[in-house]
Structure 1
């Protein structure tokens, strides 16, 4: 599978990326890939070990004469976001990613590509096998479960890594280098809500909202794209005029991806079904008009169910839940005044489920300020307390404080100017790079993050520009060779 990847340049990097595409690796299912990489390291004669959580480290001694150079850590995560279009059957725990080239971009067929962060991992592996590259002591750190919880970084062993500088290879813009990122936390809301049997005069209808673009819940949160959960709840709110009760709901699959699709089952009086259908058709036009130019393709549909559920939420519980979801914090909360053009605080209603009265919500709040993230979590708690739900905060991770005076940053800027003839834009990203967590465990590390141009991450629209991968590869090798000629502090 994906043999065409080995015809791309730089060939060593794409060869390793082919292995990653052919090896299923959603969060929590990285074991097979770890075993393959360890076997590869053994064949290369490279030392490797794991910490207690399972994070993988591979070491390579310095080139002769460069033993005193600062140790360089190449860092990326092994897992990928698992997103596929609803009409495309794909088992991310078993099926390989099928890729193709389209007008200078590589993408997958109706699934996420895994360029985030597969290209960073592939680049690190290609560096480790490059015998012509002059380098100081090298470590490659491959973390687990980044996309689902930051679990690998949060549980990384302390006192394990030996390097002095760290190159995070998990950024997604050419011509840019990142020196800071937002922190974040998952907000989980759960409740058991009262149900009641369907009345004899009620029918069950299936409501669906599909066709949105989706995307990364940090990088794309400010682009005005639709959130399927936010929009379908708005439709549910409007259908309460027809005495609709909510029976079940499923929207979104990952808290860090903008949900592209959402589905609900409703119970409502049979004599209101036609009017409800007309309202849905009108709302489709209304929402399409609002999203024009930002997110084309929204489709709303309302269809009768042949096999209706036995129960739905009782009228009061249904109204309370829809009202709470309707006013829940969502989207950009505040733009940063310290870093113009960067979102300071946001929240994504990523996953919402209801089945047999059991309600579950998982949102991801991101912020450059821990206090602002805590405030949104408290607002969720205050809101959902009103319907008797339980709210908790999980998987909190710190942001990465920018250091504009970093010596590593100065070196990268000089190299970028030499190789590409331009100064890179120095950025802070509204996404959860692992650098903030790593800095807390290894405060001596000087760090930057850079990568190729990736668009549509966390969605089936994910793609990477091929020319940018070549630039990324040259910059990475150039940084390693430049650092090899320095003496460790």
Structure 2
């Protein structure tokens, strides 16, 4: 497996990517990958250090003849999203990613691949370790915790970097030049409930929603994919309204920036209502599958009879909880009035946990408009507070406002046209890139984002296109040669 990946061109990039993927690197547990990067920089005898929050900075002097060009910051994030299929046995804290080649694509075996943002990091490493690539003075910035809070970018102090141009290598379509992105805020609703003894003469059931595509809660939110938490809630709502269903526990979704692929619940029904409940639930399941047939062909919803749990949720709290989930917006809230086809504001109901007297609902609200970000966040807050929840806003980060007069944008646009005989897609995206945050402490830096094509990021279907990586590398090499002169 590893050798197959290492033989792909450009070998320098794929070899560094294979090395990265051998190191577990979950968000907020980056100690091993930080040390890996420090060792990498020091082995090359390059100026290498770790800042106060854990970002790794590696500096490399300009190559001969490039000393008069502007210093550039090459930036990528070290952490990766950890997702796996339910039937995949894998320990992200201990194992390296298992990869394979499938035609023009590199995939992982039942897990996320880590191409987001491992390929960008690997490309930077390839430049740092090269002896024959022309480039100006480089400050390589490897941030931590991008996927679960962007705390690395937030913690980067002003004055550490001297570069005038920043190349962010975290865009996932090879024909796109990124000039802006959405900001975001975590909206978390919590409350407690009283556990009650399970009534007599009841039958227990488990309900499983699985097989959904999932995906990136920013880039993929426009697709209208199924959200396992919302689908589960439809079934619970119907069972509660018509048959008095009671909830024992729920475990739905995973990470805040991943569209939920799975949700599992344990419930009870009065035994006398067992058959009507199963009949109507089957009808509802068929309806939901029909609704999602085009987008979610592998959707599975299973109801299985089990031994009744010992305790269930307080009835009053349960009613408020189910109705709040039903009312809370999930998906696109507003399209951009200025950029055709761009989602401006959205919400992902990412995580729903009901367990042992505690409820937690975790959402990620995104927007390229600060006012609409808070408008939607307050809408969600109102919905959950009406149901008795405490609501917390955390992890807020700004968007990145496009600069159409960017000097580096002109360079990339012209080089792309020259190399590929077509116009690039110059666009803002609905994902949360670190550029907006980095721009707070470095307001004068000229930023741009580009990268190879990666599909299914944040899901076990994540895959990186080999031919696209070659295209990206070709563009990257030309960009390094054509950095403008210092003024």
Distance 1:457 1:246 in 2: 32
C-alpha separation in 1, matches of 2:386 and 2:415: 56
Deviation at 1:4, TM superposition (A): 1.6
What's the secondary structure of 1:123's corresponding residue?
helix
- 1:294 & 1:303 partners in 2: Cα distance? 25
Residue 21 of structure 1 corresponds to 21
Deviations 1:271-301 (A, max 9, x none): 2222222222212210111112112111111
Match of 2:432 in 1: 432
Match of 2:255 in 1: 254
Q: Is the 8 A contact 2:37 2:56 kept in 1?
A: no
2:474 maps to which residue?
474
Structure 1 position 373 matched with structure 2 position 344? no
Q: Report if the CA contact (8 A) 1:224-1:291 is conserved.
A: no
**Separation in 2 of the partners of 1:318 and 1:267?**
13
Contact 1:312 1:356 in 2 (8 A): no
- Secondary structure, counterpart of 1:255 in structure 2: coil
SS at match of 1:468: helix
User: Residue 45 of structure 1 corresponds to which residue in structure 2?
Assistant: 45
Deviation at 1:136, TM superposition (A): 1.2
Offset from partner CA, 1:110-157 (integer Å, 9 cap, x none): 110000000000000001111111211101100000001111111112
Task: Provide the rounded CA distance (Å) in 1 between the counterparts of 2:430 and 2:283.
Answer: 35
What do residues 148-178 of structure 1 show as CA deviations (whole Å, max 9, x unaligned)? Answer: 1111111112111111000000000011101
Secondary structure of 1:273's match? helix
- In the TM superposition, what is the alpha-carbon distance from 1:66 to its structure 2 partner? 2.5
Aligned residue for 2:139?
Answer: 139
Q: Secondary structure at the match of 2:126?
A: helix
Q: How does 1:336-375 map to 2 (within 5 A)?
A: 336-375=336-375
What's the counterpart of residue 149 of structure 2? 149
Superimposed CA distance per residue, residues 431-483 of structure 1 (whole angstroms, 9 cap, x where no aligned partner): 10000001111011101100001110000010011000011111111111111
Which secondary structure does the structure 1 equivalent of 2:346 belong to? Answer: strand
Deviation of residue 194 (structure 1)? 2.3
Match of 1:113 in 2: 113
1:263 aligns with 2:261: no
Q: Which segment drifts farther, 270-279 or 8-17?
A: 270-279
1:406 is aligned to 2:406: yes
Distance 2:39 2:438 in 1: 27
Is 2:170 the counterpart of 1:165?
no
d(CA) in 2 for partners of 1:113 and 1:309?
A: 37
> What is the TM-score with the length of structure 2 in the denominator?
0.98
Task: Give distance in 2, aligned partners of 1:6 and 1:17.
Answer: 9
- Aligned-pair CA distance for 1:67: 2.1
- Note if contact 2:4-2:101 (Cα within 8 Å) is conserved in structure 1: no
Structure 2, unaligned runs of 5 or more: none
Tell me, yes or no, if the aligned pair for 1:2 and 1:22 is still in contact at 8 Å.
no
Residue matched to 1:487: 485
Equivalent in the alignment of 1:452: 452
Structure 1 residue 193, shift from structure 2 partner: 1.5
SS across alignment from 1:225:
coil
* Counterpart-to-counterpart distance in 1, 2:306 and 2:217: 33
Q: Secondary structure at the match of 2:34?
A: helix
Distance 1:172 1:154 in 2: 22
Greater displacement, 429-438 / 148-157:
148-157
Q: Kindly report the root-mean-square deviation, in angstroms, between the aligned alpha carbons of the 2 structures.
A: 1.1
Q: Secondary structure at the match of 1:285?
A: helix
Quote how far apart the aligned CAs of 1:62 are: 1.0
Q: Which runs of 5+ in 1 are unaligned?
A: none
TM-score (norm 1): 0.98
Instruction: Provide the residue aligned with 1:322 in structure 2.
Output: 322
Q: CA deviation at 1:3?
A: 2.3
Alignment of 1:44-443 (within 5 A): 44-240=44-240, 241-306=242-307, 308-443=308-443
SS at match of 1:163: coil
Q: What SS does the aligned partner of 1:35 have?
A: helix
Offset from partner CA, 1:181-216 (integer Å, 9 cap, x none): 011010011100222110111222111111111000
Deviates more, 1:310-319 or 1:448-457: 310-319
